[in-house]
Amino acid sequence: MERYRIVYDVPTVSAYVHLRQKTGLSEKSIEAAERGLKHSLFAVSIYDSETFIGMGRVIGDEGCFYQIVDIAVDPAYQGKGIGKQIMKEIMHYLDTHAPKGAYVSLIADPPADRLYKQFGFAYTYPTSYGMYKRYE
């Protein structure tokens, strides 16, 4: 990670939308990205010189519930420990800010679920099922 620069802030809206497209994450409109990014509790962005190559965010109510979102690494940089570094930064934030009893969730798309398991995350199934509704 020495050659990469870590910035504790969200990327620009256009960089965010582009990285989501590049990594195969669901599409977000410019309006949604503008509104969502500014409400992050914590964000980490990774750069190779001036090139934006990865990110992750924490959202939530700062007490009972936190959610890890937008973990994404440019495909050209995957497999180099960048996703793991993003998670280390996020976990440091949560370890120092989340109160006892807080619930931290995330949506794990395979094979990224292996990364999240390294940080103590477990499947909710069979106790519960994750659900969602998307506004089109």
Domain limits at 49? Answer: 5-117
Q: How far apart are CA 107 and CA 40, in angstroms?
A: 17
pTM of the model: 0.94
Domain of 59, CATH number, reads: 3.40.630.30
Q: Are 4 and 46 in contact, with CB atoms under 8 Å apart?
A: yes
Please give the pLDDT value at position 105. Answer: 97
> Is residue 128 included in any domain, yes or no?
no
> Is residue 124 included in any domain, yes or no?
no
> Is residue 131 included in any domain, yes or no?
no
Instruction: Give the pLDDT confidence of 94-112 residue by residue, as tens digits.
Output: 999 999 999 999 999 889 9
Q: How many other CB atoms sit within 10 Å of the CB of residue 25?
A: 15
For residue 106, what are the contacts with CB-CB under 8 A and spacing of at least 6?
67, 68, 69, 71, 116, 121
Q: Are 87 and 71 in contact, with CB atoms under 8 Å apart?
A: yes
Per the structure block, which two tokens stand in for 12? 């620009």
